[in-house]
Structures are given as structure tokens and as C-alpha cells.
Amino acid sequence: MSNKTVQEKSTPEKPSQEPKKLSFFRLWNLTVGFFGVQFGWALQMSNTSAIYEYLGANPEEIPILWLAAPLSGLIAQPIIGYFSDRTWTPLGRRRPYFLAGAICSSLALILMPNSSALWMAAGLLWIMDTSINLTTEPFRAFIADRVPENQRTKGFAMQAFFIGSGAVVAATLPWLLHNVFGLQEANEAANSIPLTVKISYYVGASVFLSTILWTVLTTNETPPQDMEAFNKRNEESEGLGKALQEIWGNIVNMPQTMRQLAVVQFFTWLGMFCVFLYLPPAIAHHIFGAVSEKSEVYTDGIEWAGVCIAVYNGTCFLVSLLLSKIAKRIGRKPTHSICLLCGGAGLISLLFIHNQYLAFASMIGLGIAWASILSIPYSMLSDSLPKRKIGIYMGLFNAFIVIPQIVAALGLGWVMVTFLNSSHLYVVILGGISFVISALCVPIVNDVAEEDDTLPSQVAAES
């Protein structure tokens, strides 16, 4: 064990030198793929529960039908992170992974709205989510590889722009197609998935693939300085068995800050999963008054929920530009707690809102929380990680996002029937309460570099 450790430390893991300062257009090329990735995530989050209900799912069945999403992330991201740290091909280290993920994701986006049965939609969600994870994890590490430390703030802002704008366009697209471009619904069957949703997914597939291709074709990766040593180390650690062994070793020896953040992340993502599962149906039923998933009012409500999701993602983008300054002034932990409390208050306030425009105020609170969720935990985490293991630890950190989602997928249906009267809205309120609990847990985290006044470029786009 000790000999291996010495060898690994002496083997260059990063590119041969610190990345050179990047121009605006090179930063643009590096990060534009996030627009497509978030486009895919936003379509999934905005429409999947509605697609399930269009196909006949009961409200309490939706959590288990979503189980594929967190399970795929739990399994895929650590393994992808491990192997992408050890890959070198003519396309480089990270690009083969996120290109393959983009191709598979685009195919799944085309097929998903054409599902004719629940089992088909659930299976395609599994494929789609696994593929998006295959894109996302190495893409984060790719940015960490290519952007120099003194440009991390600018790189973060660029990514935030693409993440925010991609989510806004994707979430509002069905509403825009219907209300601005005049696309008429012409469903032959009462339980058909609306044409606006289908076309939005087709657009999403083309955007996802084209933006990732843009990044792949306009950027490059620097090979390891000592390729022979790089290959030798990989030969000694190749194979899935070795990967699982090292992943387990990293779990056992994870930094204290990472363990503490696990508690915060559990309640945070339990709350976010409640939003992903039930916010669109809650708006359709509670605010628009839809009594049936087969009604036009329900479709209007789901489209408006997309607008609401765009509002919270747009808020996220604007707030993210200010977070580093706020965190520098008052500290990262207080900043994160305050943002989570804003999100909790926003979700809980939906209980008292019956006007579709007043729902925007709730979404602003959620957007403030979302900006912090996508940045500050990663900022605190990155300061505690060994640099040569960024890929694998970022993959492992994803477990603290997906485990609460798995818990919710397995148990939320029972909770909903037993305690919440099968109400979509009450589950969203439960998500707000979970945010408040998460905010109260933030003070336990040991922030090893509170004096750091920058936020890293790593963000998460999607469960």
C-alpha cells in the first residue's frame, strides 16, 4: 500500500503544466457544452412527472418511477470519474466520455416523449439519466483541468451563464411553442403526450449534441508530462475490481469536510427531489385548479410550471454572480444557510398562493437557494480534496446527492398516501421544510479555507 502511494504521488496526474490564461472565446468554447447539458436536465425535470401522469401514473407512483435517476448517478459517476482520471486517447482524457454521453442522451431525448407505456418511459429515463451523468462528471473535471486557478471566478461565471440560460430556454420552450409560436395541440388520444413537449425534446436533443460537439471540436487536452509513467500506473490499477477497491478506499478515507457536507447535502437534495418530482403537477393542480391530467387546464399548468422553473433558474444565474462577494464578506457557511432558508420559505409559501404570477415570488426564493446549492458546497469541498483525485471525489460527492433521492423514491410514495393525502403540493412543502433543516446543519461543516474569496468552477447541473 505504501509503495503504491509513493508511486502515485510521483506520477504526474495533471497536464504537463499549469494551464495558460484563456481568452474569452476559449473560455466560451470550453463551457458552451453546459448549455446543452442543462437543456437536457431542465427538460427532464420539467416534464418527466407530467409524462408519467399523461401515461396513467398515480401521484404516489411517481417517486418509484424516478428511482432510475438517482441510482444511475450513484453507480455511474464514481466509476466514470475513476476511469476518466486514467484515460488517454486521440480525443484526450475527458472528451471521449462526455461525447459518448451526449450521443446517448440525445437519442434518449428523442425517444422519451414517444413513450407509449409507463415502463417504456421509466426505462428511457434510466438511459437518459445515465447518459447525462456520463457527460456531466468528466465535463466538470475537464473544466478543472483546462482553466487556470486565477480564472476560476470568470470560468464559474461563464458556466453559470450557460447553465442558467440553458435551463431557462428549455423550461419555457413548451409554453413558448404553444403561446408565442401558436403551436396547437392535436392529441388523438386523451392520454397523449402534448406535441409541444415532443418538439421541445427534439430541440433539446439537437442542442445537447451540437453544444457538446462544439466544445469537443474547438478545444484540446494536454497529455500527461510522463506518458510512460502514466501508462504504467494505469496498468497496475486497471480493471473494474481495482476501480471498486480504490473507490472504497477513498470512501473510507474521505476528508472530514466531505463527511460533514454529506449531512447538509442529504436534506438539501431531499428537498430538491421533492421539487423535481412534484412542482409542475402541484402548480397545475393547486394554482390552475386542474382536476384531471387529461384536461387542457392541466397542460396549461404544466407549461406554466416550466415558466416558473425558468424564473428560479434565471434567479440562480443572477445570484450566482454575486455569491463570491457575499461569501467573502460574511463567510461561505452563513451565505449557504441564508440561501437555503430563502429556498425553504419560497417553497412553503406556495401553500398560500393561488395566483400564477405570485408563484414567481416563491420561485425567486428557490432560485436563491439553487444558486448556492450549485456552488458553495463544491467550493468548501474543493479546498479539502487532494488535487490528483478530483475526478473520483467529485464522483463520490454525487452520492450525497443521489442517496437522499433514492430514499425519497423508495419511501415518499408511502409518506404521500399515509400522511399527505396524496397531495402534490404537500410534498413540495415537505421539500421546503427539508431545506430549513439543511440550513440548520450548515454550521457543523468545517470550512478549511473561509478566507478564500473565490468560488470554484465546478457546479452540478442535475441530479
For 21-221+228-444, CATH number? 1.20.1250.20
Average confidence (pLDDT) over 126-139: 84
Provide the 8-state DSSP code for 222.
Answer: P
Residues 30, 32: Cα–Cα separation, whole Å: 6
Cell reading at 313: 433558474
Contact 266, 404 (CB under 8 A): yes
Q: How confident is the model at residue 83 (pLDDT cuts 50, 70, 90)?
A: confident
Average confidence (pLDDT) over 307-328: 88
Q: What are 434-456's pLDDT values in tens digits?
A: 999 999 999 999 887 664 444 44
Give the Å distances, CA to CA, from 242 to 78, 144, 246, 307. Answer: 13, 25, 6, 46
Residue in 453, 452, 447 with CA at minimum distance from that of residue 325: 453
Residue in 403, 383, 382 with CA at minimum distance from that of residue 458: 382
Amino acid at 341: L
pLDDT for 397 equals: 81
pLDDT for 108 equals: 94
Q: What are 251-269's pLDDT values in tens digits?
A: 777 888 888 999 999 999 9
Residues 316, 322: Cα–Cα separation, whole Å: 10
Residue in 132, 113, 140 with CA at minimum distance from that of residue 73: 132
Indicate the Cα dihedral angle 423, 428, 434, 436, nearest 10°: -130
Geometric angle at alpha carbon 92, from 223 and 37, rounded to 5°: 135
Cell 510512460 belongs to 228
Give the Å distances, CA to CA, from 440 to 191, 267, 367. Answer: 43, 10, 19
| Whether the predicted pLDDT of 365 surpasses 90 | yes
Contacts of 289 (CB under 8 A, 6+ apart): 297
Average confidence (pLDDT) over 110-137: 89
Average confidence (pLDDT) over 18-37: 84
Contact 167, 44 (CB under 8 A): no
Contact 298, 153 (CB under 8 A): no
Cell reading at 277: 418530482
Indicate the Cα dihedral angle 28, 30, 31, 37, nearest 10°: 130
Residues 306, 178: Cα–Cα separation, whole Å: 12
Q: To the nearest whole percent, how much of the chain has pLDDT over 70?
A: 82
Contacts of 383 (CB under 8 A, 6+ apart): 257, 447, 448, 449, 452
pLDDT for 307 equals: 94
| Whether the predicted pLDDT of 463 surpasses 60 | no
Mean pLDDT of all residues in the chain? 82
| Whether the predicted pLDDT of 337 surpasses 80 | yes
Residues 442, 340: Cα–Cα separation, whole Å: 10
What are the extents of the domains in the chain? Answer: 21-221+228-444
pLDDT for 452 equals: 46
pTM: 0.77
Amino acid at 276: F
Contact 90, 232 (CB under 8 A): no
Coil, strand or helix at 78: helix
Q: How confident is the model at residue 237 (pLDDT cuts 50, 70, 90)?
A: low
Amino acid at 226: D
Cell reading at 271: 428537498
> In this predicted model, which residue has the larger pLDDT, 228 or 397?
397
Q: How many CB atoms sit inside 10 A of residue 111's CB?
A: 17
| Whether the predicted pLDDT of 29 surpasses 70 | yes
Cell reading at 109: 431525448
Cell 471521449 belongs to 96
Amino acid at 116: S
Residues 380, 335: Cα–Cα separation, whole Å: 12
